[in-house]
Structure 1
Amino acid sequence: MVVLVALGSFVMTLVGGWAAHHVTDRRHLVLGFAGGLMLGVVGLDLLPEAVEGAGRKVWGVPAALLLFVAGFLTAHVVERLLALRRAAHGAKNPEQVPQVGIGAAAAMVGHSVADGIAIGASFQVGEAIGFTVALAVISHDFADGFNTYTLTRATGNARRKAFAMLGADAVAPVAGAASTLLFTIPGEALACYLGFFGGVLLYIAAAEILPEASHSHPARSTLLCTVAGVALMWLVIGFAGE
């Protein structure tokens, strides 16, 4: 079941890469909706589940919330380091920096492996939270595929390399999800991991997906898609809890 669900990430990543190759004008609506789904999953499902599962506190603060903040900061630090690396190379040659493009795409592949592990770990908690986390991951994999292809091509790499990195990014979440079939994470550790992953997911939504959705098309339709994404997750979580 876990691997079959993760195949949705495989397909959506390839769709994102295909969109980047053909440059579609409706991508902002998909990204706005994906950002809303991710926000809904984090605020309405992951955080409550994590806080409940990792009940102990560290210096007066629930451990899951500390890890949530740590996940957000980790994603921010990684993103800033990549930006500094691109700027450093760009100072020498702003147009063609193939190594930076490959490095950034490789980081996207590593992130996608973690996405797959999150899907598998969530299914260890229960099918309901597993499907909601999978829905959030699959929705933002469109942006992952788009960015992996774009980063590789925009820095001077051949189309063949861009498609190779896109393929690796598509396979990565399936491999990550499959790896969780080999081990079982203890309940409290699982809740803490979900808290950390929630922080990472929120950063991706707030700092990357939603700004990118509104950058070229600051339209009301994009905002409505984001609200619709949150509302859909609320409905999905509500039905799952019945």
Structure 2
Amino acid sequence: MGCVCEMIGLACILALILSFSSKAPYQLKMATFMIGSGAIVLICIPLMIFRPRDYRNAFIPAWGCRQLCKALGVTMEVRGLENIRTKHGAVVLINHQSFLDLCGLAYLWPVIGRATVVSKKEVLFFPFFGFGAWLWGTLFINRSSKKDSINTLQKESRAIQERNCKLLFFPEGTRNTKETLLPFKKGPFHIALQSQCPIQPVVISKYYFLNGEKKSFRPGHAIIYILPEIHTAGSGVEDMDNIIQNTRNTMDIEYKKLSQEIRRRGH
């Protein structure tokens, strides 16, 4: 426990120092975030271990992550809460920019309902964080085996129907810092059509405060917008391409709109 406290203390001290300087080394700020988030998860493991694979386990780490982000000068606001429906499951699609998307998930988790994040299997082996993610129900898929990935997702599609779960995907499949979204993978849409559940698009504005190429990590703000559901009831595989295109276009338009707003506000 002493080691954990030291890690958290170090991360908090670094975060407070760095939050006052826009010229602080990029690597140091990222290290602060990674060490801090790992320490938060580690200290929460004894509380989570008694109810493994339960989405509620993420509430306390999510709170800690939000505080860490604020200490680093990063704030987020959630819009579109009126578009959330908790009486049925959904496939939730979120654009993917960087490791800081963990902050976005920390803001979404308390409001989105019974949720499970779908992540690549490699995340399971991240120190502390991987085990914590398993405890709060993250679904790890093996991308190198398409068959295994499909089988795993098909099993989870039943949870959408039976337990009103929401599966959270990053449909671009990789990190993207461009001004437009990348093409979407078909996996999440297979699940939505198979379970006949709606698609819930979620868009996070561009992180103008974060630039990996220039090694810049300034204080900043982001907007998370939960868009209205896109219904798939009555649709089949033959409709998939149109649904993918419609979903991506809807999210891309909102991504550009929110990003322009953030830029005008100087974030």
TM-score by length of 1: 0.27
TM-score by length of 2: 0.25
Structure with greater proportional helix content:
1
Tell me which of the two structures has the higher relative contact order, counting C-alpha pairs closer than 8 angstroms and 6 or more residues apart.
Answer: 1
Structure with greater proportional strand content:
2
